Chains A and B, each alone.
Chain A
Amino acid sequence: GAVVSQHPSRVICKSGTSVKIECRSLDFQATTMFWYRQFPKQSLMLMATSNEGSKATYEQGVEKDKFLINHASLTLSTLTVTSAHPEDSSFYICSARDDPLAGQYFGPGTRLTVL
């Protein structure tokens, strides 16, 4: 149980385009989803927390107009990187939980490369 999927697993796009990444909880309802960014050989950096039906809460330094997060249902959250630039290239990982005591369950990640 507690499976989280992400789509796509890899995406290459041109500078200036927008990219949408989906995160789904497959066998549980996720009241809260999280989006992380991971640079090579570094730890995970929390970008934002989203609760179903509410606006996302962004961490300090994360541009909310650039990284649009939607959590429209209890099983789906999306991250849209708008007007992507090469410096946005990274590994993006989502996680989901239904209960704070259960911990977070992570998706497999999405490798974004912006040319």
Chain B
Amino acid sequence: AQSVTQPDIHITVSEGASLELRCNYSYGATPYLFWYVQSPGQGLQLLLKYFSGDTLVQGIKGFEAEFKRSQSSFNLRKPSVHWSDAAEYFCAVGGMEYGNKLVFGAGTILRVKS
């Protein structure tokens, strides 16, 4: 079955420290990859997306993600975390191989300590 794995349920980082959130998908030769962020009680905001081309993509709020086909991964990174980044982050995969729907990971809750 199609699946997206976010192995870390919670991550806590200090403000100013770097961040990496992991995401792996189960299959797909040409996946469309997304990272979304959700604040409590809110909808999802698109941070960045990858369809093709340069495997390092830049998003909003200083986030970036790198697609590594050999590892079926699309990890999200930020060099310096701000307290306002505390939220839940969802990786999602879509595209024709996923029926043009999005399959979401379970999410990673980011806590930022000052």
Chain A interface (Cβ within 8 Å of chain B)? 4, 6, 34, 42-44, 46, 49, 91, 93, 95, 100-101, 103-109, 111
Chain B interface (Cβ within 8 Å of chain A)? 32, 34, 36, 41-46, 49, 51, 90, 94-95, 100-102, 104-107
The number of residue pairs between A and B whose CB atoms lie closer than 8 Å in the complex comes to 48
Contact B43 A101 (CB under 8 A): no
Contact B34 A103 (CB under 8 A): yes
Contacts A43-B104, A44-B90, A49-B101; A105 near B41 (Cβ below 8 A): no
Contacts A43-B90, A43-B107, A44-B90; A101 near B45 (Cβ below 8 A): no
Contact B101 A111 (CB under 8 A): no
Residue in A43, A104, A108 whose beta carbon sits within 8 Å of that of B42 in the complex:
A108
Contact B46 A34 (CB under 8 A): no
Residues of B within 8 A of A42 (CB): 106-107
A44 and B43 CA atoms in complex are apart in Å by: 11
Secondary structure at chain A's binding surface: helix, strand, loop or mixed?
strand
A93 and B48 CA atoms in complex are apart in Å by: 20
Contacts A34-B101, A44-B90; A93 near B32 (Cβ below 8 A): no
Between A and B, 12 residue pairs with Cβ closer than 8 Å are: A4-B43, A43-B105, A44-B104, A91-B41, A95-B44, A100-B94, A101-B51, A103-B94, A104-B94, A106-B44, A106-B46, A108-B43
Query: What's the least CB distance linking A75 to chain B, in Å?
Result: 17
Contact B46 A103 (CB under 8 A): yes
A98 and B22 CA atoms in complex are apart in Å by: 29
Considering the complex, give the chain B residue whose CB is closest to the CB of A32.
B100
Query: What's the least CB distance linking A41 to chain B, in Å?
Result: 8
Residues of A within 8 A of B43 (CB): 4, 6, 93, 106-109
Query: What's the least CB distance linking B107 to chain A, in Å?
Result: 5
A100 and B105 CA atoms in complex are apart in Å by: 19
Contact A104 B41 (CB under 8 A): no
Residues of B within 8 A of A100 (CB): 32, 94-95, 100
